[in-house]
Structure 1
Amino acid sequence: MKTILPFFPLNLVAFPGQELNLHVFEPRYKELVRDCVANESNFAIPSYVKNKIEYGTEMKLVNIAKEYSDGRFDIETKAINVLHVLNMQNPYKEKLYAAGDVEILTNVDNGDIILKEALFESLTELYKLVEIQKVPLNTDFRVFDIAHQIGLSKDAEYDLLQLREERQRQRFLLDHLKVILPQLRDIQKSKELIKMNGHFRHYDPLEF
C-alpha cells in the first residue's frame, strides 16, 4: 500500500510495537507535530542507517506529554508498520519538513514454533550470562518485541527491519545468538578464573 507521510528522519531503528518518546525542538518538526494533530495523521521515521534513507517505520502520535511555551513538544509515539521510502521531497511543498511517497510493507506472521523454542532457550541463556535479573521475555513474544534487547548493532537492526516474514526474523536472531553466546560463555569463564586467583585450589598430581 502506498501513501504520503511526513518524514522525521532519525539515526535509529524503530520496530513495530515499540513505544518511542521524542523531544521535538526544531521548527520543521514542531510544524510536523502540529500537522499530525490537526489532520489526525501518522508520520514516518525513515532510518538514516548505512548513510542512506531507504527503510523506516510508520509512527502513530499517541500523546503530547508536554507542550512548552516556545512551541517545543515532548511526544509519545508508537511504531506501527515497516515502510519503504519511494521518494523524498525536502522540503515538502510549502512545509518546513520533508515528506514523500512510502510503501507500507506487509508483515507475514508465520513464526515457527521450533525456532521460537530455540530462541527462547538461547535468549534465557543470554540474559543469564549478562546478569539481567528480570528476564524481559515471555513465551508469547515476536522477534520485533525483543530485537532491541539482544545486542544487535544498528546496521543489524536495520537489516532485521527489512525482513517481512517472522520465520526469517527468527532465523536471523538465532544466527546472531550462535555467534555471541560462545563469546559470552568464554567471558564468563574468564571472570570465574579471575575470581579464583589467589584461592587455594586442589590439583591432581600428574602420574609419570
Structure 2
Amino acid sequence: MTNFIPIFPLELVVYPGEQLNLHVREKRYQQMIRECAEQGKDFGIPPVIKGRLHEYGTLMRLLHIEKIHSDGSLDIRTRGLKVFRILEVIRDIPQKPYAGAIVHYPDNHTEGDHRLMQSLVQALHWLHQKLHLEKSFDKPIDHLSTYDLAHHACLGLEGEYQMLELLHERQRQEYLRRHLKNIRPLIDEIEKLREKIKMNGHFRELQIPDF
C-alpha cells in the first residue's frame, strides 16, 4: 500500500505505539497540524540525522491540540501508528508551505521470543541500576515490545534509526541483545572509574606485591 502524507522531519526517531508530545513553533508545521486536525489526517515523522533526511519513518496520529499559545505555537499530543518508507519526497505542494512524501508501508512482523524479551528487560534493569536511573515500564512483560525498550537502551539516534529499519520483532530483539551485551564492559569500566574517583583523598589499604 502506498499513499501521500504530509511530513514533519525531526531529529528524533519515533516508534509505533509511542506517545509523543511536541511543541510546534514553525508556522508551516502549525498549518500542517491544524489541517490534520480539521481533516482527520495523519502525518509522518521521518528522522533527520546529521542533516540528512532518512527514508524510514513513523506515521503519526494527532490525538489532541493541547494548547494554542499567543504566538501561534502549538502543544500537541500524538501517537505513532506504523513504519513507512519514503518512495519520493514532494517538496512543492500547491498552496502548502510544508513538504510531503509518497510512502509505502512495509509488513512489520511483531511476533518475538518471550524468553529473549525477559532477558532484555533484565539487562535494562541492570543498565539503569548502574546508571543510577529509576525506570519502570507501564506494561506487563508479556505486552512489551522492543519499541517500548529502545529509547531506554542508550542506543543513540543512529542506533535507534537502525532498529526502526528492522521489520521483524525477533531481529529487533537480537539487535538490542547485542547492543546491551557490547556496552556492558563500558558500563563496568565507568563504574570502576567512579569508585576510583570516590577513593581520592581517602586512606587505602593496598595489597603489597610479593617481590
Q: TM-score, normalised by structure 2?
A: 0.89
Provide the rounded CA distance (Å) in 1 between the counterparts of 2:58 and 2:210. Answer: 66
- 4+ aligned runs moved over 6 Å, structure 1: none
1:146 to 135, 149, 152: 149
The corresponding residue for 1:49 is 49
Residue 171 of structure 1 deviates from its aligned partner by 0.7
Which letter does structure 2 place at the counterpart of 1:39?
Q
Q: Does 1:122 align with 2:96?
A: no
8 Å Cα contact 2:8/2:45 also seen in 1: yes
Cα deviation digits, residues 164-197 of structure 1 (max 9, x gap): 1111111111111111111111111222233234
Q: Secondary structure at the match of 1:82?
A: strand
Pick from 172, 176, 181 the counterpart of residue 173 of structure 1.
176
8 Å contact from structure 1 (residues 46, 57) kept in 2: yes
Deviation digits for residues 72-100 of structure 1 (CA, Å, limit 9, x no counterpart): 32111111111101111112232111112
For the 8 Å contact 2:61–2:80, the answer to whether it is kept is: yes
Matches within 5 A, 1:31-110: 31-50=31-50, 51-110=52-111
Instruction: List per-residue Cα deviations over 1:98-117 (Å, max 9, x = no partner).
Output: 11211123221121123212
Secondary structure of 1:106's match? coil
Indicate how the Cα distance of structure 1 residues 195 and 83 shifts in structure 2: closer, same or farther if over 3 A, else same: same
CA contact (8 A) 1:49 1:154 kept: yes
Which has the larger displacement, 58-67 or 28-37? 28-37
Separation in structure 2 between the aligned mates of residue 103 and residue 117 of structure 1, nearest angstrom: 32
Structure 2 residue ranges without an equivalent (≥5): none
- Residue 49 (structure 1) shift: 2.1
Give the conservation status (yes or no) of the 8 Å contact 1:61–1:77: yes
Kindly indicate whether the alpha-carbon contact (under 8 Å) linking 1:92 and 1:100 is maintained by their aligned counterparts in 2: no
User: Residue in 1 aligned with 2:199?
Assistant: 196
2:4 alignment partner AA: I
TM-score (norm 1): 0.90
SS at 1:96 equivalent:
coil
Cα gap change, 1:204 to 1:66, in 2 (>3 Å): closer
Provide the secondary structure at the position in 1 that maps to 2:129.
helix
Of 14-23 and 154-163, more deviation after overlay is shown by: 14-23
Q: What letter matches 1:154 in structure 2?
A: L
CA distance in 2, matches of 1:205, 1:61: 66
Preserved CA contact (<8 Å) 2:124 2:152: no
**Paired position in structure 1 for 2:18:** 18
Q: How many residues align?
A: 207
**What percent of counterpart residues are identical?**
40
Instruction: Provide the rounded CA distance (Å) in 1 between the counterparts of 2:175 and 2:65.
Output: 36
